[in-house]
Amino acid sequence: MARIFITGSTDGLGRMAAELLIEQGHRVVLHARSQSRADETKRNVPQAEAVVIGDLGSIAQTRKVAEQVNALGTFDAVIHNAAVGYKEPKRIETEDGLPHVFAINTIAPYILTALIAKPKRLVYLSSGLHQNGDSTLEDLTWKARAWDGEQAYSDTKLHDVLLAFGIARRWPGVLSNALEPGWVPTKMGGAEATDDLDEAHRTQVWLAASDQLEALVTGEYFYHLRKWGTLPAAHDVARQDRLLAICERLSGIALPE
């Protein structure tokens, strides 16, 4: 059985994925942004091996999350599930001077990818809205543009695909894929969401732990256990490398070769 770390797993799709993995017999380590949320998660998912703590909106705390994970040993897979949505009505700036949505959805998975000992598999949650992402990669910190929460979110979900594909190319020994769970009625998706919630967490579980040949691939994009179309720009090697370089500059953390 596999050992898997899931970010943003106190509720929603992260918790659903954790519970399914545990049901399948896997060992799972969860993540909460605060001690109170960690205590709540331990009560809700008592079979979890551990819960690491840190606010992914902070570069320093994201580093500490990676340190906690590495202190627990090696992992077979990491699911980068944590994200915030696009309802922020204005540009909320983190302690590092970054937009909150960009810090959590883009910079945090990059830092954790760079600092956590390489697992066998990496899974990045994107969204169908990545199709609307700005592929120019200009002004990622939203200092020149007028703030648009939905556009900022869409941009970061494109970044997650670029990150997954860039890692797949740079780390051939690691299976690195991205997926969209669908628009589902979670806290982020809202009550108006129309996709099937029961299907939303199964693809990340499958990519993280399945031995089916269809799951043992890299540099692919999925929706409901099937390869799915992505924005063509996501396959552009120059864009992948540019995003990785921007993330390195903004975080001060280099991606290992």
Q: Enumerate the active-site residues.
A: 153, 157
Distance between CA atoms of residues 45 and 53, nearest Å: 15
Q: What is the DSSP letter of 192?
A: T
Distances (CA, A) of 250 to 107, 198, 201: 8, 37, 31
CB neighbours of 128 closer than 8 A, spacing ≥ 6?
180, 182, 183, 223
Largest distance between two CA atoms of the chain: 49
User: Checking DSSP bridges between strand 77-80 and strand 121-125, what pairing results, if any?
Assistant: parallel
Centre a 10 Å sphere on the Cβ of residue 210 and count the other Cβ atoms it contains. Answer: 16
Three-state DSSP class for residue 112: helix
CA nearest to 83, candidates 31, 139, 125 = 125
Euclidean distance between the first and the last CA atom of the chain, given in angstroms as a whole number: 28
Buried b (16+ CB within 10 A) or exposed e, 55-75: bbbbbeebbbbbebbeeeeeb
80: helix, strand or coil: strand
Phi first, then psi, for residue 90 (nearest 5°) are -145, 170
